[in-house]
Structure 1
Amino acid sequence: MATIVLGAAVAGIVLAFVLAAVAVLLPPPRFERILRALAAFGTGPEMRRDTGSALQSRLRSLVIAGLDRLAELLTPAADRERLSRLLDYAGNPAAWPLARVMRARPFGAVVGAGVGAFFAYGWTEDTDSVLIGIPAGLVAGFLLPQLLVYNAGIKRQEKITYSLPDVMDAMVIGVEAGLGLDSAMDQVASATTGPMADELNRVLQEMRLGVARTEALRSLASRTTVRDLKRLMTALIQAGELGISVAGILREHAADQRMRRRQRAEEMAQKVPVKLLFPVMFCMFPAIFIVVVGPAVITLSKAF
């Protein structure tokens, strides 16, 4: 055990020195260079920093730059695009941008390797099992941030699926009341909360920035995995290109969404008996058999 702990400590120290060397040798990031150039012209209190805070900020920026460079080396372009798409499905959370997710992967790999080695030795108390636990923990820690983003995306898309019929009904009411499509989306986005309202707000913001409605709707269709929402965006794009009124399209899609929601509820209700079969079989039936058959078994054992 002492040999394993010593080896892990040496590996951690070597890795720390390697990361520190990489961070020191790398040039400062572009954002830091821009801040320095602006600081030369600023005299406000936000530009005045003491030596300790400036040194701390410099070290932090160096470490972050080193981790960013390491993450770029470990993440090819195709994997980066996949992570960006998963973040789109998850709603692009402000706390976890693409750079931070990429930065968390090598850190998670190092932590996962240590955890894998610890549990492999603690489970088997064999030094050879550590050689299996380290690669397994390394791969698991490297893939953990991507799995978390993927899980967040699935949950968000499920919320969009559940809230889409209500959003469609609200949009139909707004359009039939005389509002345009943009005004109806604005009213629905301001009156509701959730992922669907966030997506509508993003579409409206893109249109305010000068993006055409067709491109904004196509972007919304590419940021979701909900087929019903993709079909709706395709219908709205075709209606805008052909000059067709969107009121009838929204009405038909709203009726279709209500029917699909009812079908999903019926499907989930039909799955309940199958899901209850195994808990009943393995949890309730043994207790029932003990209560019913137990006294008879005891009586027969005494008789024979």
Structure 2
Amino acid sequence: MIGGDLVNWIVLGLVFAAVVLVVMALAPLVLGRTDIKARLAAQGGGAVSNAGPGSIRNDHATGVWARLVLEVERRGMSLTDSTSDKLAEKLALAGFDQGYAPRAFTLARATGTLVLPSLLLLVFAASGNWPNPGKLYVMVIVAALAGLYLPGIVISSRAENRAKEILNGFPDTLDLMLVCLEAGLGIDAAFNRVGSEVTTSHPLLARLFAQVSLELRAGRSREVALRMLARKSGVAEITAFTTLIIQSDRLGASVATALRIYAAEMREQRRMRAEEKAHRIPVLLSIPLVCFMLPVMVAVLMLPAAIGMKKQMAKADELKNARATAQAQ
């Protein structure tokens, strides 16, 4: 009994410490936001409206995650990882290309590793139904591993979905670029025009093309800007497209002719991907058919025969019993 009370006090102490740390990290953000709104209201600024989607040149260091990372590092906790470059590239493929993204990812992993076991212990402490020490140890370790690896799983899934969205919209964007080039626009102006035209239909490609246009305006060479586009997209087809543009530019070949051929190949690849998904449907449907419908069909076909066999066996038993009774008499 004394040991159980000691465990409860230890758990409650850990939960209290975790809550205090979270409150200390979030309190400056909330208070700072309230002070800003109060000063704006005092100066006649009124309510602060939510900002719409900004351009790619906006300062991303004003977000909630950025302020949270700064507050945590200001308190002496370093969030810099030894593999920050690889982590930043992986996060960029998932759409998180801010400068503080690797540190925010490290903070999310550390928070999940500490919070999930604390929540698990809090649930056990609130219910009073503690498992045995071995099972409790395994559950805490599993919760800590889930908090450690769950952000990575989310980032990988987001990167995969982002690559699929870019790949599905790239043939249409390529056709629009081909139209712009055949109309007389240069390759730099075509990136700018296509990026502004596909903002609603393909926002990810619009952002990538807008970044290329801004880099070209800033004085970066076309080859470097296109290679940056290939790295940020993470799609093999866009890498081949940028290589095609670079090689055509170097050799002096017609970019419009090369794009026309490549656009036809991209449309053919998209059709083949659709056919591949269509051919996979029967294989995928066979799994629920075998698992759910086949046992029912077997039961429906075999049940009448089983009932008839049971009746025949019952009649044979009755006849055997009657003969035995007759012989006994």
Instruction: Give the TM interval when normalised to the shorter protein.
Output: 0.7 to 0.9
Residues 69 and 107 in structure 2, CA contact (< 8 A), matched pair in contact too:
no
Q: Partner amino acid for 1:64? A: E
2:252 to 243, 248, 253: 243
Q: Partner amino acid for 1:181? A: I
Once the two structures are overlaid, the 10-residue window that deviates more, 167-176 or 203-212, is 203-212
Do the aligned partners of residues 120 and 260 (structure 1) sit closer, same or farther apart at CA in structure 2, a change above 3 Å counting? Answer: farther
Do the aligned partners of residues 11 and 214 (structure 1) sit closer, same or farther apart at CA in structure 2, a change above 3 Å counting? Answer: same
Any gaps of 5 or more consecutive residues in structure 1?
33-44, 50-59
The correspondence of residues 1-304 of structure 1 with structure 2, limited to 5 A, is 4-14=7-17, 45=39, 64-66=71-73, 69-70=76-77, 72=79, 76-78=81-83, 80-92=84-96, 97-115=101-119, 125-192=131-198, 193-304=202-313
* Cα-to-partner distance string for 1:59-89 (whole Å, 9 max, x where unaligned): x8798234885352xx5221x2232112211
Paired with 2:120 and 2:76, the residues of 1 have a C-alpha distance of: 25
Residues 116 and 138 in structure 1, CA contact (< 8 A), matched pair in contact too:
no
- Count residues in correspondence: 270
Q: CA deviation at 1:172?
A: 1.2
Aligned Cα RMSD in Å? 3.4
**What's the counterpart of residue 60 of structure 2?**
none
Q: CA deviation at 1:117?
A: 5.1
Paired with 1:117 and 1:282, the residues of 2 have a C-alpha distance of: 38
Paired with 1:244 and 1:180, the residues of 2 have a C-alpha distance of: 14
* Cα-to-partner distance string for 1:137-196 (whole Å, 9 max, x where unaligned): 222212222221221111000111111111111111111121211222222222213322
Once the two structures are overlaid, the 10-residue window that deviates more, 236-245 or 63-72, is 63-72
Q: Partner amino acid for 1:208? A: R
Paired with 2:189 and 2:68, the residues of 1 have a C-alpha distance of: 44
Q: Name the SS for the 1:178 alignment partner.
A: coil
Do the aligned partners of residues 300 and 159 (structure 1) sit closer, same or farther apart at CA in structure 2, a change above 3 Å counting? Answer: same
Q: Name the SS for the 2:234 alignment partner.
A: coil
Residues 245 and 255 in structure 2, CA contact (< 8 A), matched pair in contact too:
yes
Residues 114 and 137 in structure 1, CA contact (< 8 A), matched pair in contact too:
no
Q: Name the SS for the 1:200 alignment partner.
A: helix
Residues 120 and 130 in structure 1, CA contact (< 8 A), matched pair in contact too:
no
Residues 68 and 99 in structure 1, CA contact (< 8 A), matched pair in contact too:
no
Do the aligned partners of residues 268 and 18 (structure 1) sit closer, same or farther apart at CA in structure 2, a change above 3 Å counting? Answer: closer
Q: CA deviation at 1:20?
A: 9.1
Larger Rg: 2
Do the aligned partners of residues 68 and 132 (structure 1) sit closer, same or farther apart at CA in structure 2, a change above 3 Å counting? Answer: farther
Identical pairs, percent: 27
Residues 214 and 237 in structure 1, CA contact (< 8 A), matched pair in contact too:
yes
Q: CA deviation at 1:5?
A: 4.0
